[in-house]
Structure 1
Amino acid sequence: MSSSTNITGLILAGGRAQRMGGIDKGLIAFHNKPLIESAINRLQPQVDTILINANRNVTKYAHYGYPVIMDETPDFSGPLAGFSMGLKNCKTPYLLTAPCDSPLLPTDLAERLLAELKAGDLDLVYASTKENGKVWAQPVFCLMRSHLETSLSAFLSKGDLKIDRWFTTLRSSTVVFEDVQAFANVNTPEELAALEKLSR
C-alpha cells in the first residue's frame, strides 16, 4: 500500500486574488486550461483523495468531482481558514495542502514531507526553497497530522491568522526543495505569462 492512501490533498482556491484584479485565480487559463487543473493533476497521484477550498464559483469547482468546502468565516481570512476547513473534513491521518495557483508544484511533495514528518515524529512539515543562499519558507505547501484541528481552532479563536506563528506552536520542520520554479505562483498577469513560457 502506498503512503498516498493516508493523505487527503487540500487545494486552496479561497483567496481574493487582489493583485489579479480580484478574479478567481483557480479559474484563470494556464495553457488554455483553468489553473486548478494543473494543481489537481500534480496532486492527484500523491494523495488518496482531494478537497477543494473555495469561497466563490463553487459550482465550477465542483465540476471536477471533488468536495468543495467553503471557509466558515466569509471574509477571506487567508490560508489558515482553508487549513481549518480541510482538517474538519479530513478523514485520513494526514492533510497535504497546496495553492491553486502553483501549476508546477513538486510531484514528490507528499513523499518528501511525509518522510521528514515520520523521521522526526513531527506534527507538521512545510516546504522551503533556497535562493541566493537564503532559505525561504513556502508555508502553504505543507503536510500535517489531521488531529491538529483542535490546535488550529484554538489558535484562530484568538484572532490570529499568521501561518508562521501557528507553525511555531507545533513540532514542525521544513524540507528544502531545490527547484524554486516548482513553487512559482501566479499573482499578476505578467507572472502568468512568464510561467507559461517557462513550462512549455
Structure 2
Amino acid sequence: MTPPIGIILAGGQATRMGGGDKGLRTLGGQTLMDHVMDRLSPQVSDMALNANGDPTRLRHLDLPVIADSVSGFAGPLAGVLAGLDWAAEQGADTIVTVAADTPFFPCDLVPRLQLATEGMTHPLALAATPDPKRGMARHPTFGLWPVALRDDLRAALDQGVRKVVQWTDTHGARTASFPDEAAFFNINTPDDLTRAEAML
C-alpha cells in the first residue's frame, strides 16, 4: 500500500495546560512535537501540521501548517478535513492523523491501520485498545482517512457533527487493535506531563 500523508493534529486550545501550543512543551529534553514527528515520519510519505492562529510561531518545525477551514474550534474532525483538503492538493489518496500531545503512539500505527482497511473502497479506520468496561476503546484522533470522503465530511461538519465516531460509524469505519493502552497516553495537564516523564 502507498504510505499516507501524516497530519499532526494540534488545532485545539490546550485550556487544561494553560493555553498555548501543547506540542511545544518539553519532555525528556525534546518537545512533544519532536517525539511525535520522530515516530510518524518513518511511517508516512510526507507530513503537515494542523494548527490555528499565526503559523509563523511554528516555522522552526519546517512543516506545512494548515488551519481549520471550519470556524470556532470545531474539534478533531475539522483538523481531519483540513488535512484531507491539503492531501488532495498533493494528489494523495489517504491521510493518517496523530495527536500532537501523544508522544508514545505505536511505531507500527500506519501499517496496522492499513491492514484493518484491506478490501474497503474508502479505507477508514481508527486505532483502538482493550478497555475493561467497553471491550475496546477507540482513539478518534488516530485514524486512517480517505481523501475521497472529504466532501461528505465537510457536509457533516456544516450540519453540526462534531464527534469523530458519529461520522466514522456512518461509513463503516473499522478498528485497528493495539495491545497497549499506554501507547495512546495523551498529555492534557501539567500532572500528565510529569507522568509522561516517568513513562519516558
- TM-score normalised by the shorter chain: which range applies? over 0.9
Tell me if the contact between 2:114 and 2:123 (Cα under 8 Å) persists in the aligned partners.
no
Give runs of aligned pairs for residues 76-95 of structure 1, distance below 5 A.
Answer: 76-90=73-87, 91=90, 92-95=92-95
Q: What TM-score do you get using the length of structure 1 for normalisation?
A: 0.92
Pair 1:146-2:143 in alignment: no
**Aligned residues between the structures:** 196
Structural RMSD (CA) = 1.5
Pair 1:23-2:24 in alignment: no
Structure 1 unaligned segments of length 5 or more: list them.
none
Query: Identical aligned pairs, as a percentage?
Result: 37
Q: Which letter maps to 1:86?
A: G
Tell me if the contact between 2:127 and 2:138 (Cα under 8 Å) persists in the aligned partners.
yes
In the alignment, what sits opposite 2:131?
Answer: 131
Can you list the C-alpha shifts for 1:49-105, whole angstroms capped at 9, x where unaligned?
001001135223232222100112342211011001000000311100000000001
Pair 1:175-2:172 in alignment: no
Q: Which moved more, 1:120-129 or 1:46-55?
A: 120-129
Can you list the C-alpha shifts for 1:92-137, whole angstroms capped at 9, x where unaligned?
1110000000000110000000011114555310001113363111
Distance across 2 between alignment mates of 1:178 and 1:79: 24
Tell me if the contact between 2:9 and 2:100 (Cα under 8 Å) persists in the aligned partners.
yes
Distance across 2 between alignment mates of 1:100 and 1:196: 16
Structure 2 unaligned segments of length 5 or more: list them.
none
Tell me if the contact between 2:122 and 2:148 (Cα under 8 Å) persists in the aligned partners.
no
Distance across 2 between alignment mates of 1:97 and 1:33: 21
Q: What TM-score do you get using the length of structure 2 for normalisation?
A: 0.92
Q: Which letter maps to 1:171?
A: G
Tell me if the contact between 2:127 and 2:143 (Cα under 8 Å) persists in the aligned partners.
yes
Tell me if the contact between 2:122 and 2:149 (Cα under 8 Å) persists in the aligned partners.
no
Q: Which letter maps to 2:142?
A: F
